[in-house]
Amino acid sequence: MTLRVCRHRDEPITDPADTVEIAYEHTNSGPGRTVWADRAHAHLVRPDPRMLRIRLRRLQA
């Protein structure tokens, strides 16, 4: 079983049936990763600010 962590709460999701895939983040080394949230918090998740800053820097270069 894969440990899934809610992006909004930063805590493990205890019920596997309650998980929602909300994004897929690409990485430079190896495969990307799936971002999860539980159903109660999926609509509250915002994009990762670190990733947004990195993307903006790359667009400006």
Q: Is 9 helix (H, G, I), strand (E, B) or coil?
A: coil
* Percentages of the chain per state (helix, strand, coil), in multiples of 5: 30, 30, 45
Nearest to 3 by CA among 38, 31, 13: 13
pLDDT score for 28: 84
| pLDDT over threshold 70, residue 4 | yes
| Band of pLDDT at residue 1, cut at 50, 70 and 90 | low
Name the pTM for this structure.
Answer: 0.67
Per-residue pLDDT reduced to its tens digit, 6-56: 988 899 999 989 999 988 888 888 888 888 999 999 889 887 777 778 878
Give the ranges where 1-61 is alpha helix by DSSP (H).
49-60
